[in-house]
Amino acid sequence: MFRLIRLFNTSIGSKLMTATTGLVLVLFIAGHLVGNLLIFQQPSVINNYAAWLQENPLLWVIRGSMLFVFLFHAFLGLRLARQNRQARESQYHCKTPIEGNISSRFMLISGGVLFAFVVFHVLHLTVGVVDGVNANLVNEKNQVDVYSRVILGFQNPWISGAYLVALGLLGVHLFHAIQSLFQTFGFHHESYLAFIRVFSIGLSMILTLGLASIPLSVLFGFLTVSTGSGG
């Protein structure tokens, strides 16, 4: 137990835990994307899926766990940035690569913006505070009409625009984060650096474009509520 505490107080320990929590968040985003893409099927599919989630007794356990992981990841990122800054100040005679500084600062800034985005996303489509009228929509089964709720919500170009900007930042954040995961976990060698870069770009683009496809499809009229919300 004390070894874990001592490890947590080191830079290496902070990097390992940041990478581990980051990996959990990447997996969550991938699972979240799979569920969201059900909106491209019949309205009843995503409505039934959402109803199943709401009836699952583990839903709030999972939500609480992911909230903890997200906040802990943010705390570790800030803590690691402070440790790195203190190390640079104590070793001012050694030049720090400019690219490393820019990447580190971008991760902090994008992480802060993404935190605000997650709060807005929860208020918008989970709690229904941003769009209270659409939050009360139900289908003929008396289920929450998630299909109509999402589409009507993204018909607001300002909201969709904010989502797309945030998702763009998420993509770049994921690209840097996934590369860092390989390095932190020891999978970092010149012979497969090219593969890591391509994989990081590919995975971040799949996740980002997959999520962005929903507001884009609504804005361009590919997703509408005219077919009926109940399916």
Average pLDDT over residues 98-119: 75
Type of residue found at 68:
F
The rounded percent of the chain whose pLDDT value lies above 70 is 83
Q: Are 45 and 38 in contact (CB under 8 A)?
A: yes
Q: What is the DSSP string of the chain?
A: -HHHHHHHTSHHHHHHHHHHHHHHHHHHHHHHHHHHGGGGS-HHHHHHHHHHHHH-TTHHHHHHHHHHHHHHHHHHHHHHHHHHHHHHHHTTTSPPPHHHHHHHHHHHHHHHHHHHHHHHHIIIIII-STTTTGGG-B-TTS-B-HHHHHHHHHTSHHHHHHHHHHHHHHHHHHHHHHHHHHHHTT---GGGHHHHHHHHHHHHHHHHHHHHHHHHHHHTTSS-STT-S--
The domains of the chain are located at: 2-219
pLDDT at 100: 52
Which residues are registered as beta bridge partners of 144?
Answer: 138
Residue 98, pLDDT > 50, answer no
pLDDT at 70: 93
Q: Which of 204, 170, 202, 197 is nearest to 182 (CA)?
A: 197
> Mean pLDDT, the chain, as a whole number?
84
- The whole-angstrom separation of Cα 216 and Cα 33 is 15
Higher-pLDDT residue of 192 and 113 is 113
Which tokens is 187 given? 């999978």
Higher-pLDDT residue of 154 and 89 is 154
pLDDT at 3: 65
Longest CA pairwise span in the chain (Å): 70
CATH 1.20.1300 fits 2-219, yes or no: yes
pLDDT tens-digit map of 5-51? 666 677 788 888 899 999 999 999 999 999 999 999 999 999 999 99
Phi, psi (rounded to 5 degrees) for 181 = -60, -45
Residue 94, pLDDT > 60, answer no
Q: Which of 148, 93, 158 is nearest to 120 (CA)?
A: 158
pLDDT at 129: 76
Q: Are 166 and 117 in contact (CB under 8 A)?
A: yes
pLDDT tens-digit map of 212-231? 999 999 999 999 985 444 44
